[in-house]
Every structure is written in C-alpha cells, then in structure tokens.
Amino acid sequence: MNLFRLFGDLSHLASIFILLQKIQSTRSCRGISFKTQALYATVFITRYLDLFYEWVSLYNFTMKVFFIASSCYILYLMKYKYRPTHDPSIDTFRVEYLLGPCVVLALLFHYKFSIPELLWSFSIFLEAVAILPQLFMLQRTGEAETITTHYLAALGAYRALYIPNWIYRYFTEDMVDPIAVTAGLVQTALYLDFFYVYFTKVLQGQKFELPA
Amino acid sequence: PLAHPEHDEL
C-alpha cells in the first residue's frame, strides 16, 4: 500500500458517498446514468468474486464488500425507490457496444485462461469505459447539478491517483500489471474533457455548462 | 515481474 493508492481508494469511497448524498438530498437520481451504475455493479461483481476464496487483507476484503453492496444499493435506489425521477429517454448509450468489445478484449488479453481470470480482465476493461453512458448523458443535456460534478470529479481523481501508484510500485516493488495500467490510462483519459470544465467552471463557483 | 501480477489492487 502506498499513499497514492490509499488516497485513490478513499477518493473512490468519497465518490460513492457523494452520489448517495446527491440522491438522498435531492430525492432524485436525475442526471445520473442508470446504465453507468449498472456497469459498475457488473464490474465489481465480476472482479471481486475472489472475495470468497482469496484473502488479501482486511482492508481489501472490506472495500470489496463495500463496493459490491453500495453499487447494488444504488441500483435499487434508481430502479425502485426513485424510479420516477429517472428518465431513460436521455440515458441512451448503447451498452452492448461496450460489453461486446470488453468480452473480446478479455479473451485476447488475460493472465491465465480460467474463469476468474477472464472475468477479472473483463472487469478491468469494462471499468475503463463504464463511465461513457454517464459522460454521454452529460454531453446530451449540456449541464449538470454541482453535486453530480463532484461525484464525477472524485471518481476521476481515484483513477488519476492510480497512475502515480503504478509508477511508484514499478520502482519500489518492480511490479507492473500491463492490463490494469493500459485500461487505467484509457479510463483516466476519458475524464480529461470533464476535468477541464470542472476546474475552469465548477471550482470557480459557476454552474457546469457545456458550450452550445 | 510481468508474469501474472497479484490482484491486490481494487
């Protein structure tokens, strides 16, 4: 464990609490892509199956349980409790265009040809692109509530912090995970546009609005 | 180090 990874994970935790806070305080999931949230639940479930047969640490175990549980809870909130506030007509990204290529990539790039390892690879590739339905929705509506942008910023920060973590691990542990690093770089790159608007507008106290 | 890294990251 190093500070980059710790703060990355904490930022990931924070993003989930911000999202829950957004839903509970506005009593609405307006502006949140159900598809992205469903993809994250898929990512956590397919990646953290090792929870049942592999012990890494108490930290690792607790976080895995938390990510699976919170992502399922968010799906429940969106699908049942606050269902009327979710507008599927603006959440139109075709997720099959993401799932298909991720299956192919997992079959091509993995560390071992076994079910858990293939699912692990699949989850890594899927996580890299899972934010796309959300960003697509943002692009379509052209604006977002400030709290939603804080959620996205915390999620992006988590990914960004994993990059110095990998550099650090390369030098201190001689450890490289090419699949995670490649997918992680792509994932972080997807946030660059968002970060630009977040830093130049939201953090200056303005509303998140995309130029027409 | 390239052979099967442990999946200890989240």
A212 in a domain, yes or no?
Answer: no
CB contact under 8 Å between A67 and B8, yes or no, is no
Chain A residues near residue B8 by CB distance under 8 angstroms:
56-57, 60
Q: How far apart are CA A26 and CA A40, in angstroms?
A: 22
A65 in a domain, yes or no?
Answer: yes
Q: Could you tell me how far CA A76 lies from the centroid of its own chain? A: 18
Most A CBs within 10 Å, among B2, B4, B6, B7, to test the A interface: B7
Most B CBs within 10 Å, among A46, A170, A177, to test the B interface: A177
A211 in a domain, yes or no?
Answer: no
Which among A12, A162, A178 has the least Cβ separation from residue B2? A178
A210 in a domain, yes or no?
Answer: no
Find tokens 């956590």 and name the residue.
A44
pLDDT of residue A125 exceeding 70, the answer is yes
A135 in a domain, yes or no?
Answer: yes
A73 in a domain, yes or no?
Answer: yes
Other beta carbons within 10 Å of A147: 15
Output the pLDDT for position B3: 60
**A178 is in which domain, residue-wise?**
1-86+94-204
Other beta carbons within 10 Å of A82: 18
Q: Would you say the C-alpha torsion A53, A74, A32, A197 has a positive or negative sign? A: negative
Tens digit of pLDDT for each residue in A52-79?
A: 999 999 999 999 999 999 999 999 999 9
Q: B3 vs chain A: nearest CA distance in angstroms?
A: 8
CB contact under 8 Å between B9 and A176, yes or no, is no
* Full DSSP string of A146-168: HHHHHHHHHHHHHHHHHHHHHHH
Q: A22 vs chain B: nearest CA distance in angstroms?
A: 24
Tens digit of pLDDT for each residue in A164-184?
A: 999 999 999 988 999 999 999
* Count of structural domains, chain A: 1
Q: Across residues A101-121, what is the average pLDDT?
A: 97
Q: A20 vs chain B: nearest CA distance in angstroms?
A: 20
A139 in a domain, yes or no?
Answer: yes
- ipTM score here? 0.85
Q: How far apart are CA A151 and CA A86, in angstroms?
A: 17
